[in-house]
Amino acid sequence: MSNSTGLNERQQEAVLATEGPILVIAGAGSGKTRVLTERIAHLVGDLGIAPWEILAFTFTNKAAREMKDRLERTIPGATESMWVGTFHATGVRILRRHGEAAGVKRDFSIHDADDSAGLVKSILSRHPNDARFIKSPRVLRDIISRMKNDLIPPSLAAQRAVGAGEERVAALYAEYEKELRRQNALDFDDLIMKVVELFAASDEARETYARRFHYVLVDEFQDTNAIQMAMIDGLSSVHRNLFVVGDDDQSIYSWRGARVEHILEFEHLYPGTKVIRLEQNYRSTQTILDAANGVIEHNRGRKGKRLWTDAGAGEKVHISASADDESEALTVIEIVRREVESGTALKEIAILYRTNAQSRALEEALVSHGKIPYQLIGTVKFYERAEVRDVLAYCKAVANPADDISVKRIINVPRRGIGKTTIDQVETWAVEHGMSMTDALRDPGLGLSAAAATRCRQFLEMFDGLRRAAETEVAPHVIDAILKATDYMKYVTEAYPDAEARIENVEELLSKAHGYAEGAEDKSLRAFLEEVALVADVDNMDFDSGQLTLMTLHNAKGLEFSTVVVTGLEEGLFPHYNSIDDPAAVEEERRLFYVGMTRARQRLFLTFAGMRRRMGLMEGGVPSRFLNEIPERCLDAPVDAVYSPPRSMFPSRATSSRWTGGRPFVDEYAQPEAPEDNTDAPESGAGSSGAAYAVGTRVIHDRFGKGIVRRVEGRGEQTRVTVIFDAGGERKFLVQYAPMRPL
């Protein structure tokens, strides 16, 4: 066996077991990436398997690139014909070749999440009655996405619909699909789903791939959803050499349809599966592992494993409390400063948080401190900036003129006097006649006013010129032509006060296109767009630039750092409000915390704040239940000991907050509650004023007005009530502090 020295017994077993279905349960830091690459190297280098007979799925493009790089170092040239990529990228590859058998035209556009939401929005605008019952286009889009990921087509959704609401959702879903087809576009989910449909429709297509791929490997298997599983199953249906690596404890994407069950049930799905467990950790200290193990053991739905290391105990996990999010940020800076002082490189430090919104306080503190260079992953993504999206919308429309979402975005940018009225008119005509908007513009029956018609004709002339350019020119030249034809830079200069930064972004897009054209085989605009559509923010992370990294816990998956700070460990934030009532959701939050903790090699810091600005309001919080789940011997101080900041820190801040109305700092730690059995019991709790609340009590809140108590939890000082307000909305309060009384 080549290059496999230094592997432990279990790892070697995983590398060498090449035939049949294999499930590797790989704990955090157990060297799974190494096993994956060694295994491929073994297949190619020792067994003489052709690279093009191997297919490997990774979670991000970055992971794919890294795997290829590692392989290239072992076996130069091996990865050229090997398929290593995300499910989405692989789906596109298959659909460009064989999509037509599933009704997918070759020049399809890829609609990203924003495009899809825009499409849903325009559908809802045609159904004002439905729009009233659906909170936002995004919500409906997410519902549709979930159905697609669960392999539910519109017809099945309609069949299964219970009640008028679900029937309408199914109908809107059907219309959404119809619109995508009219626009010759696929959304993210389609990139996988259409492959599954293709395989179902054409055995020939399926077998073409299944015969070719003798070995199929899947990384991060715990985060695959139903369509991905169906795709994997189809692709491995001939040779059945399916090798999946995952960790049920690190499943954090159930909200995207991912199913841990795929790991838990793999052995039943694929009889004869060999299961290999990797539990030796090569990353963290024993103390960090003990802390993480202690937390994750509170979950029920897991296969169960216990990570160990021979790296030694190391330092205790550090816990610190701050009065509010601003001082938490200062604490973080202080931690970073000391780490750097003691010789840790900035690029070896990561600050993690549950929600992107938390990055603001941290970033502001870093900016005013001014001496710590940092990179922020994931907030305003490059490809989501308005100016970048504008230029890309031109590209997409030029590559696929049926792409109405893109056409609508650019038809009046820069301003050319084609306003809302005209656009609506064109769109209505297009939808009614089943044609694209650009075709509708050419339709003599459209009947625009003379002035509007002239402007539209001018637009079309320019647009057609760009189309001709796209047929022959490489991507960067087409973008150049777009910028010139529209005088886009001049528009940006005039339209935005921060034009300079925006121009830089456009220039960066252009240079990305140049870079792409230099390396890629297919230099066409369409190919470039494909590349761009599938990159995630994580793909652009740079860990060699000597900067501190700030990102969400989700983004930290698969990474490791010498020092990790997990911030915002408060009930309601982590675990998040939206999860707190659902035990399964809390377990996922716990897994997310587990993922965060196990990113750390040497030192782990956990911080929380007594008050936090949330959507503009100050809200108080108690330490996360997760902190109490860490064995005390692993901590440098007991949670409740750090959680008693001097009261004097508070009044001035608290009284200035609109939300708390000067409520005092909660200074005792609230124990996580026993499973609640009093959900609807009319149990009363005593408020600070001695007022009693029961389910159904009418109340008045100083800020939110009148409402009715829906739920009472806890007792004594910890009594919390959930109130539905007449004005709409539902909120949970600690009775003791809420400016509220019974009516």
User: Can you give the binding site for DNA, defined by CB under 7 A?
Assistant: 59-61, 86-88, 112-113, 135-136, 138-139, 142, 188, 252, 255-256, 354-357, 378, 412, 415-422, 452, 534, 536-538, 552, 554-555, 576-579, 585, 613-616
Give the shortest CB-353-to-DNA separation in angstroms.
9
Give the shortest CB-638-to-DNA separation in angstroms.
28
Helix, strand, coil shares of the chain, percent, nearest 5, are 50, 15, 35
Q: Which is nearer to DNA, 43 or 456 (CB)?
A: 456
CB within 8 Å of 583: residues ≥ 6 apart:
none
Q: Give helix 450-472 / helix 386-399 axis angle, nearest 10°.
A: 80
The whole-angstrom separation of Cα 672 and Cα 623 is: 10
Give the shortest CB-16-to-DNA separation in angstroms.
30
Of the residues 599, 625, 711, 720, only one is catalytic, namely 599
CB within 8 Å of 444: residues ≥ 6 apart:
none
Give the shortest CB-537-to-DNA separation in angstroms.
6
Q: Which residues are bridge partners to 277 per DSSP? A: 25
Is residue 219 among the annotated active site residues?
yes
Is residue 190 among the annotated active site residues?
no
Of the residues 190, 219, 324, 589, only one is catalytic, namely 219
Instruction: Give the type of residue at 587.
Output: E
Give the shortest CB-209-to-DNA separation in angstroms.
19
Q: Which is nearer to DNA, 122 or 562 (CB)?
A: 122
CB 303 within 8 A of CB 297: no
Q: Which is nearer to DNA, 56 or 538 (CB)?
A: 538
Q: Which is nearer to DNA, 113 or 637 (CB)?
A: 113
The whole-angstrom separation of Cα 433 and Cα 562 is: 60
Give the shortest CB-474-to-DNA separation in angstroms.
26
Q: Which is nearer to DNA, 57 or 665 (CB)?
A: 57
197-215: buried (b, 16+ CB within 10 Å) or exposed (e) per residue?
Answer: bbbeeeeebbeebbebbbb
The whole-angstrom separation of Cα 585 and Cα 545 is: 36
The whole-angstrom separation of Cα 541 and Cα 66 is: 13
Give the shortest CB-267-to-DNA separation in angstroms.
27
Q: What is the DSSP string of 95-146?
A: HHHHGGGGT--TT-EEE-HHHHHHHHHHHHHT-HHHHTTSS-HHHHHHHHHH
Q: Which is nearer to DNA, 608 or 643 (CB)?
A: 608
Closest to 530 measured CA to CA, from 162, 208, 89: 89
SS3 613: strand
* Token pair of 426 as six digits: 């064109």
Q: Which is nearer to DNA, 269 or 357 (CB)?
A: 357
Is residue 371 among the annotated active site residues?
no
CA angle, corner 192, sides to 188 and 197, nearest 5?
Answer: 125
Total residues found in the chain within this entry: 743
Q: Which is nearer to DNA, 324 or 339 (CB)?
A: 324
Give the shortest CB-540-to-DNA separation in angstroms.
10
Give the shortest CB-578-to-DNA separation in angstroms.
4
Query: What is the DSSP pairing of strand 617-620 with strand 685-686?
Result: unpaired
Of the residues 10, 11, 12, 32, only one is catalytic, namely 32
Closest to 250 measured CA to CA, from 274, 275, 224, 227: 224
Is residue 250 among the annotated active site residues?
yes
Q: Which is nearer to DNA, 334 or 424 (CB)?
A: 424
Which phi and psi angles does 201 have, rounded to 5°? Answer: -80, -30
How far is CA 230 from each of CA 111, 196, 224, 262, rounded to the nearest angstrom?
22, 6, 10, 11
Closest to 2 measured CA to CA, from 52, 31, 32, 44: 44
Q: Which residues are bridge partners to 565 per DSSP? A: 351, 605
The whole-angstrom separation of Cα 609 and Cα 621 is: 7
Give the shortest CB-589-to-DNA separation in angstroms.
7
Q: Which is nearer to DNA, 53 or 537 (CB)?
A: 537
Kindly state the helix (H) or strand (E) to which residue 421 belongs, with its residue range. helix 420-432
* Token pair of 330 as six digits: 């200062």
Is residue 663 among the annotated active site residues?
no
* Token pair of 208 as six digits: 């073409």
**Token pair 């309060």: residue:** 733
CA angle, corner 598, sides to 597 and 604, nearest 5?
Answer: 45
Of the residues 13, 18, 33, 715, only one is catalytic, namely 33
Of the residues 220, 531, 570, 588, only one is catalytic, namely 220
| Burial (Cβ within 10 Å: 0-12, 13-18, ≥19) of residue 514 | middle
Give the shortest CB-357-to-DNA separation in angstroms.
4
Q: Which is nearer to DNA, 77 or 419 (CB)?
A: 419
| Burial (Cβ within 10 Å: 0-12, 13-18, ≥19) of residue 674 | exposed
Q: Which is nearer to DNA, 168 or 614 (CB)?
A: 614
Give the shortest CB-137-to-DNA separation in angstroms.
8
Closest to 54 measured CA to CA, from 80, 23, 17: 80
Q: Which residues are bridge partners to 619 per DSSP? A: 612
Is residue 668 among the annotated active site residues?
no
* Token pair of 264 as six digits: 């838990």
Rg (the chain; Cα; Å): 28
Instruction: Specify the DSSP class assigned to residue 26.
Output: E
Q: Which is nearer to DNA, 315 or 384 (CB)?
A: 384
The whole-angstrom separation of Cα 306 and Cα 284 is: 13
Of the residues 250, 309, 567, 607, only one is catalytic, namely 250
For 163, other C-beta atoms within 10 Å of its C-beta total 8
Give the shortest CB-385-to-DNA separation in angstroms.
10
- Does residue 160 come out as left (phi exceeding 0), alpha (psi in the -120 to 50 range) or beta? alpha
Q: Which residues are catalytic?
A: 32-33, 219-220, 250, 599
